[in-house]
Amino acid sequence: MGSKGASGGILVAWDELCWISVEEWIGNHSLSVVLQRVEDASKVFFTGVYGPSLRVEKRRFWEELNVVRDLWVFPWCIGGDFNEIRFVGERSGCRRTTRNMVAFDDFIANHELVDLPLAGARFTWNRGENPKLESWGPPPFRLEIAWLQAPRMEERLGEWWSFLKSEGPLDVVIGRKLRFVKKKLREWVKEKRAFDKNRLRWLESRIGEINFLEGEGNGNSNFREELGRIKAEHNGILLHEKISWRQKSRVKWLKEGDKNTTYFHAMASVRRRGSRIEFLEAEGEKIIDKDEITGVILEFYKKLYSSDGS
């Protein structure tokens, strides 16, 4: 079914080695296909839906699906975008049960349908940001270029590396030292971000005070010198933040002097969503459960780094 304006269309596909299309029916918001199994000639029918978003059209939507159910007596599978939820907890920010939610729930009950449980997300419907998945543990450690531009950073790294005393095989010693340096670096980054945030507030407040005094005619050379130092420090902190977000977003074509980090925030968020593992396919099976995905990954690397001999 083709799209209508900005609304998406409907596409129903099946494996022709397993199923043969026998009949079809096209409505205003649904597309139904009767399929006959090649193996035993049994029949089912599937309905793909794209529900209307306007409330006044939803009643006609349920009526259309009632008509579809009466067309055939075979087992029925229905799926797609209903543009509706059954319960308050299925939509982010929903606070009350509406008539349309009740109508959706009644439709499922009247036709003895089974609502498949949700997996991998908190909501079936969420505006704007993607639904937040469960915590998958700490994020991977990545060194940021901006950290190395901080004063005394090379000296600080050397002190951390030398501080931890360890004995044993060289690879074990290096691994312990790297983990210790990573831990200390994360602590330093957390403290620095908190300091920079508070420092920016003070600098911006002081810049406003000096500008006000000069506007009132109370400025002098000392104020102008202080303003120059404060602006230089202020720009330095903003530049540090911009470099950090630019690396996270992997966008390199903007000029170094651009202080607007909103674009980099957006690109970094897009990359973070694109890097998330929502499911894995292992040995021909699609896995969506978080614990099962974790187990598959661990087993893969255990086999990869296990030694068969000396």
- Dist. CA 37–CA 182, nearest whole Å: 58
Contact 91, 58 (CB under 8 A): no
Greater model confidence, 40 or 307: 40
Q: Residue 256: pLDDT above 50?
A: no
- Model pTM score: 0.43
Instruction: Out of 43-52, 110-119, 209-218, pick the least confident.
Output: 209-218
Residue type, 280: L
The mean of the pLDDT values for the chain is 80
Each residue of 177-190: pLDDT tens digit?
Answer: 999 998 998 898 88
Residue 26 parent element (H or E): strand 19-26
- For the segment 129-137, the average pLDDT, to the nearest whole number, is 56
pLDDT-derived band at 50 (thresholds 50, 70, 90) equals: very high
Give domain limits for the chain.
145-275, 277-310
Tell me the range of 58-62, 128-132, 200-204, 270-274 where mean pLDDT is highest. Answer: 58-62
Sign, CA torsion 275/279/283/284: negative
- Dist. CA 4–CA 49, nearest whole Å: 13
Query: pLDDT > 90: what percent of the chain?
Result: 26
